[in-house]
Amino acid sequence: MTEIRDIEYLVGSKKIRNKTITPYNNIICNFLSDLSKELNLSEESKVYPDIKTLAFWCRKKNIEKFKNQFKSNESRLGLGLLFHITPSNIPTNFAYSLVFGLVTGNSNVIKVPSQNFEQVKIICNTINKILKKYKTLQDMITIVRYKNHNFFTNKFSLLCSARLIWGGDNTIKEIQKYSTDQRSIDITFSDRYSFCTINSEKFLSLKKNGIKTLAEKFYNDTYLVDQNGCSSPHLVVWIGKKYKKARVKFWSSLKEVVEKKYELSESASFDKYTQLFKDILSLKNISNYEMYGSQIYTVLLKKLDKDNHKLRGKWGFFYEYNTNDINKIKSFINPRYQTLTYFGLEKNTLSKFVLSNKLRGIDRVVPIGQALDMNFFWDGYDINKILTRVVEIR
Helices (H) and strands (E) in the chain, counts: 15, 17
Residue 230 within binding range of another protein, rule CB under 8 A: yes
116 binds another protein (CB under 8 A): no
Q: Least distance to another protein from the beta carbon of 334, Å?
A: 17
Judged by CB, which is closer to another protein: 197, or 295?
A: 295
Question: Is residue 315 within 8 Å of residue 224, measured between CB atoms?
Answer: no
The H or E element that residue 217 is part of is helix 208-221
Q: Does 57 bind another protein (CB under 8 A)?
A: no
> In the window 315-374, what residues touch another protein (CB under 8 A)?
315
**153 vs 184, beta carbon nearer another protein:** 153
For 227-262, give one letter per residue: b (16+ CB within 10 A) or e.
bebbbbbbbbbbbbebbeebbebbbebbbbbbeeeb
**Contact letters (x/-) for another protein, 304-323, by CB under 8 A?**
--------x-xx--------
Strand-pairing partners, residue 391, are 75
At closest approach, how far in Å is the CB of 124 from another protein?
Answer: 20
Pick from 323, 150, 113, 341: nearest CA to 231: 341
Site string for another protein, 166-185 (x = CB under 8 A): xxxxxx--------------
Secondary element (H or E) of residue 107: strand 107-111
Q: Is 87 in the site for another protein (CB under 8 A)?
A: yes
Binder among 89, 128, 285, 334 for another protein (CB under 8 A): 89
Choose between 199 and 227: whose C-beta lies nearer to another protein: 227
Name the nearest CA neighbour of 138 among 160, 105, 107: 107
The smaller minimum CB distance to another protein, of residues 77 and 225, is found at: 225
Among 139, 201, 226, 290, the residue binding another protein under the rule CB under 8 A is 226
User: Of residues 27, 77, 268, 350, which one binds another protein by CB under 8 A?
Assistant: 268
| 145 vs 7: CA distance, rounded Å | 6
Considering beta carbons, is residue 287 or 327 the nearer one to another protein?
287
SS (H, E, C) 75-92: EEEECCEEEEECCCCCCC
Interface with another protein (CB under 8 A), residue from 5, 177, 261, 278: 278
Region near another protein per CB under 8 A, out of 19-27, 201-209, 213-221, 224-232: 224-232
Q: What angle do CA 344, 349, 351 make, to 5 degrees?
A: 115
In 3D space, the residue among 83, 124, 76 whose CA is nearest the CA of residue 104 turns out to be: 76
Q: Is residue 262 involved in binding another protein (CB under 8 A)?
A: no
Residues that bind another protein (CB under 8 A): 87-90, 93, 166-171, 189, 191, 224-230, 232, 264-271, 273-274, 277-278, 280-281, 286, 289, 293-294, 312, 314-315
